[in-house]
Amino acid sequence: MKLGFIGTGVISDAVIRGLLSTDYSASEIIVSTRGRAFSQKLTADFEIVRAEDDNQAIMESADMVFLAIRPQDAQKVLTGLKAGPETQIVSLIATIPIETLQGWICGGASFDRAIPLPSVAHCNCVTAVYPGSDNVIALFDKLGGAVAADTIDAFDGYAAGSALMATYFEILENAAQWMVTQGSDYADARRYLAALFSGLSDNTLKSPDQSFAELVDGHATPGGLNEQVAQTFIREKGGEAIHTALDDVFARIKAASGDS
């Protein structure tokens, strides 16, 4: 399998490095020089990776081509490119529908969209894919797993869910700063909280049959400290704030894609 990347930035770098740490069968990886610092580092680190200035040459050389450019640059970069029906295109571009991409890139290629996160570099990220072609699912399975969305609304829901990353770190930062006010060293508080939440994440992954609600019950002894904090979160409408934030970002995604 020959892979091509039009746009070589953080996510392309993460996908490539993750794949090359697995047994995924790639005979060659061609990266565009759009994102020169990343393309230069990848070609220096891996013999299998080469850089290419011509995006059309990438389309013609690769079996699967990843589009990883900014939405505001996409039309200019992609319009006029050709990819035949034997080519699988995977768009990593936020908000741009497949129908729009098909209008820019002619030739009858197959299209999927995907939302890989930076942790695919370590093969521990589940990637949302739409509609979920078998070869695309197989590739992301190597990077930690994949979920195929049945509808575009479901896919956009995954995109909205991925917007919780900064909020996760905001929670940890607030907790760490609070612990500092009680006399903790910030580095120690950070280390403690990082290990605490990493352990919770590990337990969650090892308990796939338990809902999050069941895990709440399992980590909240009646009358205990965890239950008290959870009840305060509910009382202060923390859950409603999360729903409101996700509703807002979902609406933004829909508006940007023209589905609103």
Give per-residue pLDDT as tens, 234-257. 999 999 999 999 999 999 999 988
Residue 36 has pLDDT above 90, yes or no: no
Under a CB-based contact definition with an 8 Å cutoff, are residues 105 and 82 in contact?
yes
Chain Cα centroid distance, residue 146: 10
Instruction: Tally the residues of the chain.
Output: 260
Helix, strand, coil % (nearest 5) of the chain? 55, 15, 30
Distance CA 119, CA 187 (A): 23
CB proximity list for 140: less than 8 A, separation 6 or greater: 114, 116, 120, 127, 129, 146
Rounded-to-integer distance, Cα 66 and Cα 111, Å: 10
From CA 113, how far away is CA 159, in angstroms rounded? Answer: 11
- CB within 8 A of 197, min separation 6: which ones? 172
Distance CA 35, CA 9 (A): 6
pLDDT at 218 over 60: yes
Question: How far from chain centre, in Å, is Cα 39?
Answer: 20
* Neighbour order of strands in the sheet with 64-67: 49-52, 28-32, 2-6, 64-67, 88-91, 110-115, 127-130, 146-148
pLDDT score recorded for residue 106? 95
* CB-CB contact of 62 with 139 (8 Å): no
**Residue 105 burial by Cβ neighbours in a 10 Å radius (0-12, 13-18, 19+):** buried
What one-letter code names the amino acid at 65?
V
Is the predicted pLDDT of residue 34 greater than 70, yes or no? yes
Please report where in the chains the tokens 């197989």 appear, as a residue.
138
pLDDT band at 60 (very low <50, low <70, confident <90, very high): very high
Q: What is the DSSP letter of 121?
A: G
CA distance 7 to 10: 10
- Comparing C-alpha atoms, which of 67, 61, 68 is closest to residue 87? 61
> How does pLDDT run across 142-200, given as a tens digit for each residue?
999 999 999 999 999 999 999 999 999 999 999 999 999 999 999 999 999 999 999 99
* Backbone phi and psi for residue 146, each to the nearest 5 degrees, phi listed first: -145, 150
Angle at alpha carbon of residue 258, lines to 252 and 260, rounded to 5°: 60
Does residue 260 carry a pLDDT above 60?
no
